[in-house]
A and B are shown apart, each in its own frame.
Chain A
Amino acid sequence: MGKLLKKSAANDFFRSLQKKGSLYAPVSTDMVRFQHIKTPEALRSIDFDGHAFFPPKKYLLPNEEELFTIKQGKLQDTNQSLPPQFVVNVRLCDLNAIAILDKLYLDPDYPDPYYKAKRDATTFIGINCKREIDEYCFCGSMDLQRAYDLLLDDRGEHYYIDVRSDKGMALVKELPDAPEQQDPTLPKTSKVLDQKDLHQFFADKWWEGDNELCVSCQRCTALCPTCFCFDVKDDMDLNLQDGKRLRTIDSCHSADFTTVAGDHTFRSSRLQRYRHRVMHKLQYYKDTFERSMCTGCGRCIRYCHSKIDFVKTINEDFK
């Protein structure tokens, strides 16, 4: 189902969302970042062209979140109810990343209530890429799906809004219907990752070359839209009776990520940690969910301290 939105009316549409809840959108400053668009005036600063430095996963998995309040040595529930929030101009790679996180965090055996509360309150509205943003994007090879409520597709004077859910439809029902349904063409990229069974290359020496350049800075995991590992710790006031139980974003690149009592660390070398990240992204998740956990957003290469490019290594060296 498609709707039409005149480009000149895009801000009116975003204004309608602002009235329904909090609006978050990319804004170009020194770099493109998702920001809270609080006022009608701020709508003008919304960016339609860039690729956000930090992915929108932060609206579901903040860097730090309170699981419980601790009062007088007792855990107390924190309030999980959230007003509606709208995250707009999200690119297809990052929309697919949310679908990937949903599989893990809304797993029917143990749904994560903190994630679910945010997920239920949040609508992600996408914007289609007409062309790759830069030479690091390789989403074109990552089997991206139309995983969104709404996606704006640039059609000259108009945006064609591709509607994929009732949640999305409720927001655009006032807009005129598109004369015919025309599924947006998903982005193609000149960089592509050759799909290989990486289990076969687990012991390959080529990991070592990339690993030698890695400085364990953990940027790749922080910026990856599908990295989700966390730590849990209690942060206490000086009285040691009051405080909070926090969940904080963690990284499989950190040296003590797998340390257990007796000071035994299972992935004690950086090579093991580097390989684990890439294997998880490209192979392990796929073993269970039949799609890669990587969406080809390119951030972990684009912003890598040493510009390590696993796509290149896998394509050229893993034979």
Chain B
Amino acid sequence: MSNYFEHTPVEILAKTWESPDTVTFRVNWQPKHDPGQFIEISIPGVGESPISFCSWNPTYCEFNVRVVGNVTKAISKLEPGDTMHVRGPYGKGYPMDYFKNNHLLFIGGGCGVAPLKGIIEYVQHHRKHFKDVDLYFGYRSRDDILFKHLLEHWEKEFFLHVTIDKDAGDFHYSCPVGFVTQAVQEADIPPDNKIVFLCGPPVMMEKTMPLLLDKGFHEDQIWVSAERHMKCCTGKCGHCMINGKYVCKDGPVFRYDEIKGVTE
């Protein structure tokens, strides 16, 4: 019997520091997956961390890792040419077919932008299936902005709006100071024919939701990605369970009406 705890060794092709504490790895791996799914990266002797796919293409995968503790620190020390140990993909991703012919609105905060990048790349590969794409991304500071080298492309192809909590400086993308929630609030975004992808820290998600509902969005137009502590990713360790739902198996991606009112 196959062992879900077992890892596949994959080669690291490239490594890019996006910000002082966030690094993107490109690895030579082509698993079939949907945007929004995730894997576990393992460092023998240190532990494992659940990490989302942050790319979508047939030839490689990218993972964006924020250094917050032991495992993520050890992952960040890997270099191109090294082997990364991965298991997965896990969870239910975004049902992209279901969104065809819609306008797409992405709202991301900090690290939450990483999984959204996976959806964006999927959309780029299937461009004619989708209508306009609006990106609203918020970061704490200029240094924290992720995927800086892609902003130029995204700006050409989509509507792009980046906000910075404080100290915008003279960054090329004259980013307004303030939270991304403010930008969403001020924006003229009629809800018709739109799908919203929301991913970010819990407080940002909590603040954004009422704004969207105020603008007339229906709960079934909004998709969120939940983060929970995870150890097994297969519905066994119990850590990720909220109100009877396993975030690892039933999520991490949920349509808002499926988890609305789900309390701890």
Contacts and interface: CB of A to CB of B under 8 A. Distances in A.
Interface of A: 67-68, 70, 73-75, 77, 104-105, 107, 109-113, 116, 202, 228-234, 236, 240-241, 243, 245, 250, 252, 257-262, 264, 266-267, 272, 276, 279-280, 283-285, 287-288
DSSP majority for the A interface?
A: mixed
Given A75-B85, A202-B263, A236 B202 contact: no
Nearest to A257: B239
Contacts of B249: 109
B181 interface: no
A279 B244 CA distance: 8
B168 interface: no
A262 to B, nearest CB: 6
B150 interface: no
| 5 nearest A-B residue pairs (beta carbon) | A284-B244, A229-B238, A110-B234, A261-B68, A267-B264
Interface of B: 1-7, 42, 44-48, 66, 68-69, 72, 85, 201-202, 227-229, 231-232, 234-239, 241-244, 249, 263-264
Instruction: Name the residue among A250, A262, A264 with the largest chain B CB count within 10 angstroms.
Output: A262
A252 B264 CA distance: 12
DSSP majority for the B interface?
A: loop
B228 to A, nearest CB: 7
B1 A232 contact: no
Given A74-B44, A259-B229, A288-B244, A110 B7 contact: no
A184 to B, nearest CB: 32
A104 B264 CA distance: 22
A113 B236 CA distance: 12
B241 A261 contact: no
Contacts of A234: 44-47
Contacts of B4: 110, 112-113
A110 B45 contact: no
Nearest to B231: A232
A287 B241 CA distance: 13
A241 to B, nearest CB: 7
B93 to A, nearest CB: 16
A262 B44 contact: no
A258 B239 contact: yes
B5 A68 contact: yes
B242 to A, nearest CB: 7
Contact of A284 (B5, B7, B201, B243): B243
13 contacts: A77-B6, A107-B234, A110-B234, A113-B4, A231-B231, A232-B48, A232-B237, A236-B45, A243-B45, A258-B228, A258-B239, A261-B69, A284-B243
B45 A264 contact: no
Contacts of B237: 229-232, 250
A246 B234 CA distance: 17
